[in-house]
Amino acid sequence: MMGNLSILFPSQPLFELVPMSPDKKADAELAPWPGSHAMPRWSVGELTDAPLFQWKNALAMIGPGLVMGAAAIGGGEWLAGPAVTAKYGGALLWIGTVSILFQVIYNIEISRYALYCGEPIFSGKFRIPPHPMFWVLIYFMLDWGSIAPYLAVNAAIPLEAIFLQRLPDPDNIPRDWWVHKFVATGLYLLVLIPLIFGGKIYNSLKVVMSFKLVAVITFLLFLGIFFSRPATWGEIFSGLFQIGTVPVLRGEDLNGNGILDPGEDFDRDGRLDVNEGLPPTIDTNGDGNPDAWEKDAEGNEIRFRDQDGDGKRDGYATENVFVYLWNHGTFPTLNLSLIATLGSLAAIAGNGGLTNAPISNFTRDQGWGMGSKVGAIPSVVGGHGISLSHEGCVFVVDEESLPRWRRWYRHILRDQLFVWMGACLIGVSLPSILSVEFLPRGTEASSWTGAAMTAGGVQDRVTDPAPGTLAYMPALRSLISGPNLGRFFWGATLFCGFLVMITSHTTTTDGFVRRWVDVFWTASPQLRKLPGTAVKYVYFFVLCGCAVLGLTILWTMDKPGKVFEMSTTFYNFAFAFSSWHTLVVNTTLLPPQLRPNWGVRIGLVLSGLYFAALGLLMSMKLFGYIS
């Protein structure tokens, strides 16, 4: 961790201060116009000083990290995370940790750009040659996942379960299908309300996300403290840092003695399990290598034989690549059947895709750095007197402004490292504690039913606390457990899942609209003729168009889980490309004194490689190249 911090807090200055001569200072005050001249020239203003950090006003200084950190407790943490941990425990959570660390570097870098010129990072990307319209086509293709209403669709499942008092089955019960469509539609429209009222849209989001953060973390902490065993907390915490651990298929008898020795009971069922998986036997493409399985009478592939009659496939396990390589001299054989879910966890652990980009917009709307000279996007209702400039405003880099710049940069570091990253790590950990503690190891939890299945496990545990938990103690057992409380916590867990996903959909929708409104507000010659207060109408128009597209996808798609996988596949490719593009922006458009050091540049390159590799593996899974 200290190695990563040294990248973000370089011990040596990035540059030396050289006093400007009067002639050079006069030249510098001419408004710069870097990149494509299809974008407007920047104006020049004075960089105000960053607020002095004091513990007594620490909450008042929290900015974009709060909104985006609360948004980060969303689909990846509530859907993909439990789907992974229910099957493999906490050992694979390091994938989310690495994703979050790369996103921290990215978030700080896009904020660096906004601090300098008051523009969001998307406007900076469109300043890179050849032309803004070129980047419109590229990013529209990459931003498809943000339009797909997978969060609203998944938020509908736990809400329907509360009213139906059972898990809905829209695939097989026609009535459930119609109920699911109408509930999802209502929720999708509900997320638009905070984006229409409240003055600054950013302020409305801040209120909603503050409530979500407090409510969700308080609820999950209560369950984790009183109904989870210390060993589960240890498993989750250690899993965040078990870098190199991968999923494999193998039996539990590691030493071959036929006895269930300590450490071999991977799924904690008290039996010595064997790998029940069956190899493919059908050669579909005639290459001599079987690549498909025989099917049963119902058309399902026969991928395993249930030898012990427990109703589930045994043999899921994990290995650490580095330990296995040291002991055996070869790499373990990976089980890539869950690669789509693992890739989804990495894609939206934290924020992911292009949904991180609004951090730079919020940096501006918060008035940080040069954002105070530019303005903000007002809501259609209540946004009187708030306007947004069509172009950025930069400051003259000299011996007076550079110390102020450093203080703003440290301000961003605090917000991202302590608020955003802290919320993300908590958001990955706490929902996973529920699935590890309350679901049997090896549970097949699909992404869109995982929240409801976890709620059933919570109900059983609250009804009858397990030995080793605080709730098992006689003094507490009669107070916080029993059948009635079990049923209450079943509903509360479902509602918590609903709250997590529906609020995250609000920020995802706002982020998509905000990205494109900001870009066109700056890049379009026609929109540049409008007064600054008219941006709220542009925002509302794009919001309505986004809603139409989202509802079209909602009513035409059949499998919510498939849309989730496709969306997160695009997220991985989008974040990879955006990382590299941000590196280009900050090393070409910013003055040399303000550009990132080499440690940060390498971090952005590695970030792109990490997410591009995951996107490629997920694509191979989606198109059937990985079974």
Nearest to 351 by CA among 540, 174, 102: 102
Greater model confidence, 88 or 29:
88
SS3 state of residue 304: strand
Cα angle 405, 411, 416 (rounded to 5 degrees) comes to 130
**Tens digits of residue pLDDT in 243-254:** 999 888 888 778
**Tens digits of residue pLDDT in 539-554:** 888 899 988 988 998 8
Q: How far apart are CA 301 and CA 297, in angstroms?
A: 10
Q: Would you say 466 and 452 are in contact if contact means Cβ atoms under 8 Å apart?
A: no
How crowded is residue 313: how many other Cβ atoms within 10 Å of its Cβ? 19
Task: Answer yes or no: is 324 within a domain.
Answer: no
SS3 state of residue 138: helix
In one-letter notation, the amino acid at residue 589 is L
Greater model confidence, 286 or 605:
605
pLDDT, residue 292, reads 79
Q: Would you say 241 and 418 are in contact if contact means Cβ atoms under 8 Å apart?
A: no
How many Cα atoms occupy the beta-carbon half-sphere of 450 within 13 Å? Answer: 29
Q: What does DSSP say about strands 43-45 and 393-395: parallel, antiparallel, or unpaired?
A: parallel
Task: Answer yes or no: is 490 within a domain.
Answer: yes
Task: Answer yes or no: is 278 within a domain.
Answer: no
Q: What does DSSP say about strands 245-249 and 393-395: parallel, antiparallel, or unpaired?
A: unpaired
> C-alpha distances in angstroms, 394 versus 119, 307, 368, 371, 410?
9, 69, 13, 10, 19
Task: Answer yes or no: is 530 within a domain.
Answer: yes
How crowded is residue 220: how many other Cβ atoms within 10 Å of its Cβ? 21
Give the helix/strand (H/E) hosting 325: helix 321-328
Task: Answer yes or no: is 263 within a domain.
Answer: no
Q: Which residues contact 598 (CB under 8 A, 6 or more apart)?
A: none
Place of tokens 């209403």: 149
Q: Would you say 230 and 472 are in contact if contact means Cβ atoms under 8 Å apart?
A: no
> C-alpha distances in angstroms, 553 versus 143, 148, 395, 424, 556?
14, 7, 44, 29, 5
Per-residue confidence at 26, pLDDT binned at 50, 70, 90?
A: very low
Q: How far apart are CA 238 and CA 429, in angstroms?
A: 10
User: Residue range 280-307: average pLDDT?
Assistant: 80
Task: Answer yes or no: is 596 within a domain.
Answer: yes
pLDDT over threshold 60, residue 405: yes
Q: What is the pTM of this model?
A: 0.84
Q: Would you say 202 and 362 are in contact if contact means Cβ atoms under 8 Å apart?
A: yes
Task: Answer yes or no: is 281 within a domain.
Answer: no
DSSP letter string over 64-129?
HHHHHHHHHSSHIIIIIHHHHHHHHGGGGTHHHHHHHHHHHHHHHHHHHHHHHHS--HHHHHTTSS
**Tens digits of residue pLDDT in 463-519:** 999 899 999 998 889 889 999 999 999 888 888 888 888 887 887 888 888 888 888
Look up the CATH number of the domain holding residue 586.
Answer: 1.20.1740.10
What size, in residues, is the chain? 627
pLDDT, residue 88, reads 84
**The total number of structural domains that make up the chain:** 1
Nearest to 536 by CA among 260, 199, 293, 104: 199
pLDDT, residue 23, reads 44
Q: Would you say 62 and 206 are in contact if contact means Cβ atoms under 8 Å apart?
A: no
Phi first, then psi: what are they for 587, rounded to 5°?
-100, 0
Burial class of 334 by CB neighbour count within 10 A (0 to 12, 13 to 18, 19+): middle
Q: How far apart are CA 431 and CA 436, in angstroms?
A: 9
Task: Answer yes or no: is 259 within a domain.
Answer: no
Q: How far apart are CA 464 and CA 458, in angstroms?
A: 10
What is the separation, in whole angstroms, between the first and last Cα of the chain?
Answer: 36
Dihedral angle sign, alpha carbons of residues 75, 360, 612, 436: negative
Phi first, then psi: what are they for 101, rounded to 5°?
-60, -40
- Residues of the domain holding 604: 38-242+337-622
